[in-house]
Amino acid sequence: MKNRTLFAHAALLLFAQIAAAEAYAAGPDGTVSGSVTDSAGKPVANANVVLQNASGASAGTASTDTGGHFVVHNVSAGTYAVVVAAPGYASGSSIATANDGSDASVSVSLSKSDALDVQVNAKRLDRARNGLLPETGSSVYRFSQADINTLPAGQDTPLNQVLLQAPGVASDSYGQLHVRGDHANLQYRINGVIIPEPISGFGQSLDTRIIDQLNLLTGALPAQYGDRTAGIVDIHTKSGDQGDGGSIDVFGGSHQTIKTSADVFGSKGPFSYYFSGSVGENNLGIENPTSSANAIHDHTRQGDAFGLMSYIINPLTRVSLMFGTTSNQFDIPNTAGLPTNFTLNGNTTFDSSKLNETQSELNQFAVVALQGTNGGALDYQVALFTRYSRTQFNPDPVGDLLFNGVAASDFHSDSANGVQADTTYRLNAKHTLRAGISFQQEHAVFDNNLSVFPADEDGNQLSDQPFNVPDSSSKTGYLYSAYVQDEWKVTDKLTINYGLRYDKMDEYVSASQLSPRVGMVYALTPSTTVHAGYSRYFTPPAFELVSGADIARFAGTTAQTSTQNDPVQPERSHYFDLGVTQRLTSAITVGVDAYYKKSTNLLDEGQFGTALIFTPFNYQYGRVYGVEFTSNYKQGNVSAYMNVAFSRAQGKDIDSAQFNFGPDELAFIGSHFVFLDHDQRVTASFGGAYQLGATTFTFDGIVGSGLRSGFANTDRLPVYTQVNLGVIHHFDFKEPLIGKFDGRLLLINAFNRVYELRDGSGIGVGAPQYGPHIALYAGITKNF
């Protein structure tokens, strides 16, 4: 940095000497004045200003006042280098030419010298943290901040809908995602730290606007990744390391949608920060259970906040605090004209459109991480994390009894605390060693209260007078894991990552597994890359969803079920993956990826009650396989992508939580491989953008062959498609109060192809859900 400054001064003096040779003979003396500001435009006081002539000698000095201004009097005609220095800033300079009896005016901007060093240190630490996360052998799909901004809804796109643009990701009700035929089974990491899963769908618990870079890892994962392995959602957040700024966003439209969001970021010396928050409401919080354009009783209020604070202790060490909270309230939408099934106090009538069921969700997490490097061979990160999640379902106390024979008030909470440590050591040019451990303790509380009717053994109502059955339990569980792996650069073209992972769970059951992993990447040609891998997986059931309730207490009531309730087991699987990526031209890249997973105690989840809370169960045998095709195009102001995936997901013989199923369905599944309810034969996503001056035209879409339905998932729903269109314009008004801002207009389901995601039938499917009708939205974003 000092060498660059000396070189700049020398160049300025050389220019001054050339200019001086052209200046006319000296006349009356003049003055040189000006202002000195920092990179943010704020005045710099008490800066030392020196005028240097062509020979480098001082021709006058001055100091800046509180407004950053200076004046040097009695300056002979000529050209001078104006050199400015101030404590805490890198020196700056400019050229001034003084003429006969006239004034010369210049402005000089100084950069904080410590800020420059801090940015260098921050980038070094970011690279070290990224080096802790290997990808060798897995399939990776990347979204940059620019990619997200180009989507029709931009940063107002829910995170789950961003992920739908990746290959092999299928959409489901309640914002759920299925990656490569798995039910959920996604792990979310923020800046390299695992964020424990909440009770509800986590895709709605993070705001897309916090993302700087998003990577979705699938396939045969390295030993570092465990517990949730269908996909790793690796989020690198925005930060304040690059300067000060922020934005305000207002978004709204159909279904009385209004959402206001803001973020702010900045730094001061070694301290940097990023904060983001949003609040909003609309009348389409959950998918409509009917094909009508407007759902009945479907209002939602949602809010979230995220914060990241970072302090660079020294050039090689950084400590960070990260936290987030989400609070959502939902009305449960209704279907008009449904018949009642039970009698309450002699009454058998109730307008189903007037049901008043609601559900509230709260998710909070915090992380403290110490991350560092020795500047060469060793990188590390140690993080302490905590998370609290709570879900409350409030029934309609009269309507639920008349329709279902049960009115259940369900409260679930789960708290998780733990530690995660990851290290990387570069043994030599060919071998990079990685190792790590993690520990997590969870405590789940179930506090439910059911109003039920007396019933005979066949479920027939014996009385129209309800009574209460309490259903409360709690449990503490533990997860342990450790891994070690070596990334071996066999040649310049071939890299192999091999390792071992150990997982142990002590929850409703105790189990453990030692899992080998191996993956390789081979650059067959400069434009052709092959990757392959094998991973042994150990997947614990979602502890926050597994209940230890005693189902025998419901015997003789309208809530009674079968008494068979074997404990939910961890899934154990063998996973194989093989893929090829081909760069056809500088603008076009295509790829193909095939995978096969064979499982014991395959995990699945279903909604078996009125609350929007899922229950895990196992198939004793499972098999999932498929192939994905990807293509990307980017040339100048045009970009496009298309992904098509074919898959099969099947299971046989339900061997846990059997009380949720009827005896005929259990018997059929016990002797047949059946399709999982989220199985979809064909899943496709596509999109693109065209920039014309200050305007960007954009679109995206999804296509699906239909999820499963019917008895034991023996049927499937029709093919569906949804296309979204958007236009974004970058406005630039000369009026200072308005200035620059972005406006966008978008159509959701632009061709109004109304489709059914669920029809209320199938294994663990609670109710029908439809995709959105055509809807119009607009947004304005102001950056500052």
196 pLDDT tier (thresholds 50, 70, 90) = confident
**Would you report the helix, strand and coil content of the chain in percent, each value rounded to 5?**
10, 55, 30
DSSP 466: -
Whole-angstrom CA distances from 524 to 153, 219, 492, 532, 629 are 39, 20, 11, 13, 19
Instruction: Note whether 499 and 485 are within 8 A (CB).
Output: yes
Residue identified by tokens 């996909």 is 231
Specify the pLDDT at position 101: 64
Q: What span, in angstroms and rounded, lies between the C-alpha atoms of 475 and 392?
A: 18
pLDDT band at residue 24 using 50, 70 and 90 as cut-offs? very low
Mean pLDDT of 661-669: 91
Alpha-carbon span 2 to 433, nearest angstrom: 37
CA–CA separation, 724 and 698 (whole Å): 9
Specify the 3-state DSSP secondary structure of 202. Answer: helix
**Residue 92 structure tokens:** 């700056």
Nearest residue to 234 via CA among 136, 134, 375, 315: 134
pLDDT at 118: 66
E-assigned strand segments in 225-316: 231-237, 245-253, 257-268, 271-282, 300-314
Q: Which pLDDT score, from 0 to 100, does residue 279 have?
A: 97
> pLDDT tens across 444-472, in order?
999 988 899 999 988 889 999 999 988 88
Give the pLDDT mean for 469-496.
94
- In 3D space, the residue among 652, 654, 642, 720 whose CA is nearest the CA of residue 681 turns out to be 720
- For the chain, domain boundaries: 30-112, 138-466+474-783
pLDDT of residue 40: 74
Amino acid occupying residue 547: S
Q: Once rounded to an integer, what is the mean pLDDT over residues 84-99?
A: 81
- C-alpha torsion angle, residues 599, 600, 601, 602 (rounded to 10): 10
The SS3 of residue 459 is coil
For the segment 137-143, the average pLDDT, to the nearest whole number, is 89
pLDDT at residue 17 in the model: 44
Strands 231-237 and 211-219, bridge-based pairing: antiparallel
Q: Which helix (H) or strand (E) holds 147?
A: helix 145-150
pLDDT: which is higher, 545 or 563: 545
* C-alpha span between 568 and 478 (Å, rounded): 15
Nearest CA to 530 among 520, 538, 542, 539?
Answer: 520
Rounded Cα gap, residues 18 and 323, in angstroms: 58
How do residues 67-91 score in pLDDT, each as one tens digit? Answer: 889 898 888 888 888 889 887 677 7
State percent of the chain over pLDDT 90. 67
Q: Give the residue ranges of DSSP H helices in 318-472.
A: 399-404
pLDDT at 87: 72
Cα 636 to Cα 312, 583, 632, 633, 643, distances in angstroms = 38, 17, 13, 10, 21
Residue 21, token pair as written in the block: 């040779």
pLDDT at 237: 94
Residues of the chain with pLDDT > 70, as a percent, come to 93
- Cα Rg of the chain (Å, integer): 31
Give the pLDDT band of residue 475 (cuts 50, 70, 90). very high
Structure-block tokens of residue 73: 């009097």
User: Is the pLDDT reported for residue 777 higher than 60?
Assistant: yes
* Mean pLDDT of all residues belonging to the chain: 89
DSSP string, 543-587: GGG-----GGGGTTBTT---S--PPPPPEEEEEEEEEEEEE-SSS
Q: Cβ neighbours of residue 509 under 8 Å, at least 6 residues apart?
A: 567, 568, 569, 570
CATH number of 138-466+474-783: 2.40.170.20
Q: Who wins on pLDDT, 205 or 651? A: 651
* Topology adopted by domain 30-112: Immunoglobulin-like (2.60.40)
Contacts of 734 (CB under 8 A, 6+ apart): none
Query: What average pLDDT does range 755-777 have in this prediction?
Result: 92
Chain-centroid distance of CA 479 in Å reads 23
